[in-house]
Amino acid sequence: MTFRSLDTADLAGKRALVRVDFNVPMDGGQITDDTRLRSALPTIHFLSGKGAKVVLLAHFDRPKGKRVPEMSLKPVAGPLSDLLEQPVAFADDCIGAAAQAVIDGLENGGVALLENIRFHAGEEKNDPAFAAELAKNGDLYVNDAFSAAHRAHASTEGLARLLPAYPGLAMRRELDMLDAALGTPVKPVLGIVGGAKVSTKLDLLNNLVARLDRLAIGGGMANTFLAAQGHPVGSSLCEHDLGDTAREIMAKAAASGCELLLPVDVVVAREVKPGVATRTLALDEVGDGDLILDAGPKTVERLLAAMDASKTLIWNGPLGVFEVPPFDIATVAAAKKAGALAEAGKITAVAGGGDTVSALNHAGVADQMTFVSTAGGAFLEWMEGKTLPGVKALEV
């Protein structure tokens, strides 16, 4: 993939339309987590510092093409101004006279936030006429919202066809890290895929077994593979109807030379609640009323050894019900090992997906990983080998 670089762009006095992800969690009109605002700061500072007029485009929630006052982006302008340490003008529409007046009022280096682009139905429909109206507000386009790159919307795909298009700094770092993990990685490459259900990650598993050297499968989805091998899983979460699918994935892994690391022992209990009595069992010792809720110590030991033998790690999904201790033991042990290896420069460790980010934060190692993507759906679709429209549109 080849992209234009902002380093070579003539920015002074130019209107830079920047797609950001400001779909932040709110409670009573107050932002409860400003991570997404902070991720946009480097690109905004860069453009502003080069004398561009920075015009921010973002969505909030799902107004479905109608103006919903509770879904206005206006409450974001103040906190963003505080983080930037400079004024942020707000326009109560993203197109037309209201937007143009605010943008015309910007000095070079100034920043404006436009109202929720999803107040217009043309955004999610990728309507060319709406994209053209947006394009009137800019001289160049910057996409800094990888988390929205799997959507072919007017502000993520349509605009990139109408103006000189660039990836922002956060977008570029994400793409570079993802390429290092799965595009052109240093081998051997180990993947960890966990979570509840195989059915939600079929495309992911089929893509990874064809590309990785080893793939560890954990969480509830591992039970489906164990059952497909004839092991008892008791009352555990298990998609028994996907036995044939699991066996096909195992066969594909074998044919591709990808070693599958499935649990060799498990931690069980009779109910899911903190501090409940647990037992560690061999696979064939699981009884009818047992719930498999975490990977056992031998499984963890084997996974840690696989990390030691790898140069690249890509991780999506926990190994157990980590939200309910003591079923976080395997996930925390693996996370701490990955963080230590990454911090020591012995492995490139890239992780992503909502549960994964929560698990790494729970283990206290998110800052030690090489890169943690908060992109959710876009990260998963990229791992599945799918083309992301918002990224494709930036290529030159």
Per residue in 262-294, pLDDT (tens digit) is: 999 999 999 999 989 999 999 999 999 999 999
Say whether both 139 and 271 belong to one domain: no
Total domain count for the chain?
2
Summarised one tens digit per residue, pLDDT across range 344-388 is 999 999 999 878 999 999 999 999 999 999 888 899 999 999 999
Residue 146 lies in a domain: yes
Within 13 Å, how many C-alpha atoms sit on residue 130's CB side?
A: 20
Residue 195 lies in a domain: yes
Residue 295 lies in a domain: yes
Which residue, of 110, 139, 170, is where some domain finishes?
170
What confidence category does residue 138 fall into, taking pLDDT thresholds of 50, 70 and 90? very high
Say whether both 198 and 288 belong to one domain: yes
Residue 391 lies in a domain: no
> Could you give phi then psi for residue 301, rounded to 5 degrees?
-60, -40
Summarised one tens digit per residue, pLDDT across range 179-212 is 999 999 999 999 999 999 999 999 999 999 999 9
SS3 at position 217: strand
Summarised one tens digit per residue, pLDDT across range 78-134 is 999 999 999 999 999 999 999 999 999 999 999 999 999 999 999 999 999 999 999
Residue 390 lies in a domain: no
Instruction: Compute the CA torsion angle 287, 293, 296, 299 (nearest 10 deg).
Output: 110
Residue 108 lies in a domain: yes
Which residue, of 170, 193, 210, is where some domain finishes?
170
What confidence category does residue 154 fall into, taking pLDDT thresholds of 50, 70 and 90? very high
pLDDT for residue 374: 85
Summarised one tens digit per residue, pLDDT across range 50-70 is 999 999 999 999 999 999 999
Q: Cβ neighbours of residue 240 under 8 Å, at least 6 residues apart?
A: 224, 227
Say whether both 257 and 374 belong to one domain: yes
pLDDT for residue 1: 77
312: nearest Cα among 209, 217, 189: 189
Say which CATH number the domain at 358 has.
Answer: 3.40.50.1260
SS3 at position 114: strand
Say whether both 151 and 20 belong to one domain: yes
Say whether both 312 and 266 belong to one domain: yes
Say whether both 164 and 245 belong to one domain: no
Instruction: Tell me the β-bridge partners of 141.
Output: 17, 165
How far is it, in rounded angstroms, from Cα 110 to Cα 86? 8
pLDDT for residue 342: 98
Q: Cβ neighbours of residue 186 under 8 Å, at least 6 residues apart?
A: 180, 311, 312, 348
Summarised one tens digit per residue, pLDDT across range 156-188 is 999 999 999 999 999 999 999 999 999 999 999
Which residue, of 144, 170, 196, is where some domain finishes?
170
> Could you give phi then psi for residue 371, rounded to 5 degrees?
-160, 135
- Number of neighbours of residue 230 by Cβ within 10 angstroms: 9
Say whether both 161 and 190 belong to one domain: no
Mean pLDDT of 322-332: 96
Summarised one tens digit per residue, pLDDT across range 3-47 is 999 999 999 999 999 999 999 999 988 999 898 999 999 999 999
- Residues with catalytic roles: 36, 197, 354, 377
- Residue span of the structural domain in which 71 resides: 6-170
Residue 175 lies in a domain: no
Say whether both 266 and 363 belong to one domain: yes
Say whether both 161 and 189 belong to one domain: no
| Strand locations in the chain (E) | 15-19, 26-27, 30-31, 53-57, 88-91, 111-114, 140-143, 165-167, 189-193, 214-217, 259-261, 265-269, 279-282, 291-295, 312-316, 348-352, 371-373
Average pLDDT along the chain: 96
Say whether both 20 and 60 belong to one domain: yes
Say whether both 127 and 227 belong to one domain: no
Q: What are the strands of the beta sheet with 214-217, ordered from one edge?
A: 259-261, 214-217, 189-193, 312-316, 348-352, 371-373
* Beta carbons of 117 and 157 less than 8 angstroms apart: no
Residue 42 lies in a domain: yes
> What's the predicted TM-score (pTM) here?
0.91
pLDDT for residue 11: 98
pLDDT for residue 136: 98
Antiparallel, parallel or unpaired: β 26-27 and 30-31: antiparallel
3-state helix, strand, coil in the chain (%, to 5): 45, 20, 40
Q: Cβ neighbours of residue 152 under 8 Å, at least 6 residues apart?
A: 126, 158, 389, 390
Say whether both 216 and 151 belong to one domain: no
